């Protein structure tokens, strides 16, 4: 076939390709690391000014019961697969040089959206394995990768434990700059230089506001009344808020804003001294303060503004929701735990979840059914912990069941297990259904 004929075919088909792209939403997922439930203004925060996030949240729908995992790698695995940690074995943080990651048999959200015709990109923290090229983002469905593989990097020199951790398209990259600024700059570049005949899936997992607590001095000045880690956290969150605003401006400049679904979430409950008010506990626990994330969704003309939803949803739900919106296929070999929550977001429908699993390990888990939450801690669950720390954790854990009515006791102060024995039996049976086939941790000694 001649080059002229091929060019003619391309010209004739381009309008239909553009129409197809425009009929599918661009999807931007903003994930903030170690953000407390009440750190942002839209969720009650009064310390740090977060005008960009607050504006988006106000114009969209806030998810008051958006569940995530207790720590970062498991939440990322759940988002990427639509499956609980009991399926993937990602209960723990994937650390540098670890010989494991998100299992290769897992189909990722990026795989599914790429197959549905999307350009796919990640800018920020991966945290799902790097020990073999098959585990890297560009091998897991992403067309573009930028940022780091692990947590706790230095924000300025991008090292962890003396080793560089900064890449572009999974190739080492030496670059100067504050990482929050660089992640946002790359997101804006990807938006501006996107393939205009394809919708865009842009995943932006910021490393802010995770430790180490580092931020340019100018962000500390408005918070001179604070000191130490609290002042630095306020400055770090302000920098992330600014970055979110830059990404929104880039979408507007590119003419994409009206056809872009934006989802915002923390990756786990915040650690001290972040603010999880009124929730009990912090990052690493299956208390509400460890597994209830700060979240909202925004899409002008599609998701109502000024709404707050109490209905329980989970980060696994974005997998089927996004794929369905993208016109992709949900047919796959591995079962999907997530539910399509589009009716919840747009019609005020009840969640399709009969129960939601909050899991730290097969021996430390909770189940939420309606307003009720049952917590079981049967022993230490960190395969990498020392014998001493395991003993300490086991001593601190609440043995036996703890039952809470979250509608009247969101802070989990009153254990009603003794008063509701039949409910405990029924909920424990449901929890055991979730846990009976739980795979062991993928973490290697």
Same domain for 315 and 262?
A: yes
d(CA 242, CA 258): 21
Domain end among 312, 347, 382: 347
Q: Is residue 444 part of a domain?
A: no
**What does the buried/exposed string (b/e) look like for 235-245 if buried means 16 or more CB atoms within 10 Å of the residue's CB?**
bbbbbbbbbbb
d(CA 264, CA 274): 18
CA geometry: angle 86, 90, 93, nearest 5 deg: 145
Same domain for 392 and 421?
A: yes
Q: Which two tokens stand for residue 311?
A: 């209905």
Q: What is the CATH number of the domain that holds 50?
A: 3.40.720.10
d(CA 180, CA 35): 14
Same domain for 52 and 186?
A: yes
Q: Is residue 32 part of a domain?
A: yes
72 is catalytic: yes
Please report how many Cα atoms fall inside a 13 Å half-sphere around the Cα of residue 381, on the Cβ side. Answer: 24
pLDDT for res 390: 42
pLDDT for res 378: 61
CA distances from 61 to 109, 296, 298 (A): 23, 5, 6
pLDDT for res 250: 98
pLDDT for res 30: 99
CA geometry: angle 213, 249, 276, nearest 5 deg: 35
d(CA 240, CA 264): 12
Instruction: Choose the catalytic residue: 72, 188, 294, 358.
Output: 72
d(CA 295, CA 315): 10
CA distances from 6 to 20, 196, 406 (A): 20, 20, 62
Q: What is the CATH number of the domain that holds 430?
A: 3.30.1120.10
Instruction: Choose the catalytic residue: 40, 66, 114, 127.
Output: 127
358 is catalytic: no
Q: Would you give per-residue pLDDT tens digits along the chain (445 residues)?
A: 443 443 333 334 433 333 345 689 999 999 999 999 999 999 999 999 999 999 999 999 999 999 999 999 999 999 999 999 999 999 999 999 899 999 999 999 999 999 999 999 999 999 999 999 999 999 999 999 999 999 999 999 999 999 999 999 999 999 999 999 999 999 999 999 999 999 999 999 999 999 999 999 999 999 999 999 999 999 999 999 999 999 999 999 999 999 999 999 999 999 999 999 999 999 999 999 999 999 999 999 999 999 999 999 999 999 999 999 999 999 999 999 999 999 999 999 999 999 999 999 999 999 999 999 999 986 444 433 334 444 444 343 445 799 999 999 999 999 999 999 999 999 999 999 999 999 999 997 6
Same domain for 340 and 362?
A: no
Other beta carbons within 10 Å of 407: 10
Same domain for 195 and 249?
A: yes
Q: Which of 256, 113, 137 is nearest to 192 (CA)?
A: 256
Q: Is residue 18 part of a domain?
A: no
pLDDT for res 20: 46
Contact 33, 293 (CB under 8 A): no
Same domain for 274 and 238?
A: yes
Same domain for 183 and 281?
A: yes
Domain end among 311, 330, 347: 347
d(CA 100, CA 32): 24
pLDDT for res 444: 77
Same domain for 341 and 360?
A: no
Same domain for 377 and 360?
A: yes
Number of H helices, E strands in the chain: 12, 17
Domain end among 297, 318, 347: 347
pLDDT for res 141: 98
Contact 366, 286 (CB under 8 A): yes
Strand ranges (E), 158-230: 159-160, 163-164, 167-168, 171-172, 200-205
Same domain for 338 and 373?
A: no
Q: Is residue 443 part of a domain?
A: no
Q: State in Å, rounded, how far the first CA of the chain is from the last one.
A: 58
Contact 61, 403 (CB under 8 A): no
Same domain for 286 and 399?
A: no
d(CA 355, CA 366): 10
pLDDT for res 408: 98
Domains of the chain: total: 2
Return contacts of 279-284, CB within 8 angstroms, 24+ apart. Answer: 279/37, 279/410, 279/411, 279/412, 280/411, 280/412, 280/413, 281/412, 283/34, 283/70, 283/71, 284/70, 284/71, 284/360
Contact 85, 91 (CB under 8 A): yes
Instruction: State which residues form the domain around 385.
Output: 356-435
Q: Is residue 440 part of a domain?
A: no
H/E stretch holding 148 reads strand 144-148
pLDDT for res 377: 84
Q: Is residue 19 part of a domain?
A: no
pLDDT for res 399: 58
**What does the buried/exposed string (b/e) look like for 115-128 if buried means 16 or more CB atoms within 10 Å of the residue's CB?**
ebbbbbbbbbbbbb
Q: Is residue 1 part of a domain?
A: no
Q: Which of 181, 171, 174, 170 is nearest to 204 (CA)?
A: 181
Same domain for 332 and 369?
A: no
Q: Is residue 274 part of a domain?
A: yes
């Amino acid at each position: 076939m001649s080059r002229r004929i091929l060019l003619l075919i391309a010209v004739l088909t381009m309008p239909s390709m553009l129409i197809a792209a425009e009929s599918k939403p661009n999807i931007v997922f903003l994930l903030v690391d170690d953000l407390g439930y009440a750190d942002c203004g839209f969720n009650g925060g009064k310390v740090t000014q977060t005008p960009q996030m607050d504006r988006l949240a106000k114009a969209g729908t806030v998810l008051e019961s958006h569940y995530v995992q207790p720590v970062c790698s498991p939440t990322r695995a759940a988002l990427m697969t639509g499956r609980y940690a009991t399926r993937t074995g990602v209960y723990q943080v994937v650390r540098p040089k670890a010989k494991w990651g998100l299992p290769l048999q897992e189909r990722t959200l990026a795989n599914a959206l790429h197959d549905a015709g999307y350009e796919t990109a990640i800018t920020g923290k991966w945290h799902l394995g790097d020990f073999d090229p098959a585990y890297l983002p560009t091998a897991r469905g992403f067309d573009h990768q930028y940022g780091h593989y692990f947590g706790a990097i230095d924000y300025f020199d991008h090292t962890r434990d003396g080793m560089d951790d900064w890449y572009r398209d999974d190739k080492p990259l030496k670059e100067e700059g504050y990482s929050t600024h660089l992640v946002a700059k790359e997101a804006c570049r990807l938006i501006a230089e996107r393939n205009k005949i394809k919708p865009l899936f842009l995943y932006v997992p910021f490393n802010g506001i995770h430790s180490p607590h580092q931020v340019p001095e100018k962000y500390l000045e408005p918070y001179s009344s604070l000191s130490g880690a609290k002042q630095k956290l306020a400055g770090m969150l302000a920098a992330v808020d600014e970055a979110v605003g830059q990404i929104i401006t880039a979408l507007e400049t590119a003419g994409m804003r009206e056809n872009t679904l934006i989802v915002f979430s923390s990756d786990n409950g915040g650690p001290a001294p972040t603010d999880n008010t009124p929730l009990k506990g912090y990052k690493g626990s299956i208390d509400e303060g460890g597994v209830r994330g700060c979240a909202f969704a925004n899409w002008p003309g599609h998701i109502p503004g000024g709404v707050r939803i109490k209905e329980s949803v989970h980060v696994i739900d974005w997998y089927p929701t996004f794929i369905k919106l993208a016109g992709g296929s949900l047919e796959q070999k591995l079962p999907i735990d997530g539910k399509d929550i589009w009716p919840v977001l747009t019609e005020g429908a009840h969640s399709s979840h009969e129960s939601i699993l909050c899991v730290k390990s097969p021996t430390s888990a909770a189940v939420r059914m309606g307003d009720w939450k049952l917590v079981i801690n049967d022993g230490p669950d960190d395969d990498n912990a020392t014998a001493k720390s395991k003993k300490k954790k086991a001593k601190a854990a609440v043995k036996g069941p703890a039952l809470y009515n979250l509608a009247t006791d969101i802070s989990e102060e009153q254990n009603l297990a003794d008063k509701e024995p039949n409910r405990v039996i029924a909920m424990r049976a449901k929890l055991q259904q979730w846990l009976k086939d739980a795979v062991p941790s993928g973490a290697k000694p």
